[in-house]
Amino acid sequence: MAVIIGIPPPRNCVRNFLIMNTRPAAADYLWRIVTLPPVPEAVADGRAWSREIMKEWRFAEMTDVVQQLVSELVTNSIEHAETSCVRLLLAQATGTLRLDVTDEDVLRLPVRAQAGPGDISGRGLAIVEALSDRWGVHITASRKTVWCEFSSWRG
The mean pLDDT value of the chain amounts to: 80
Taking 70 as the threshold, does the pLDDT of residue 152 lie above it? no
Q: How confident is the model at residue 118 (pLDDT cuts 50, 70, 90)?
A: low
Nearest C-alpha neighbor of 74 from the set 145, 153, 149: 145
Domain range for 67: 32-113+121-150
Q: What is the pLDDT of residues 34-53, one digit of tens each?
A: 999 999 999 999 999 999 99
User: Residue 22 corresponds to which amino acid?
Assistant: T
Residue 4, domain member (yes or no): no
| Beta strand 144-150 pairing with 86-93 | unpaired
Contacts of 69 (CB under 8 A, 6+ apart): 99, 127, 128, 131, 132, 148
| Total domains present in the chain | 1
Comparing 127 with 145, the larger pLDDT belongs to: 145
Q: Residue 54 domain-assigned?
A: yes
CATH of the domain at 51: 3.30.565.10
Closest CA to 100 of 86, 108, 89, 113: 89
- 64-107 tens-digit pLDDT: 999 999 999 999 999 988 899 999 999 998 789 999 999 999 88
**Assigned domain for 7 exists:** no
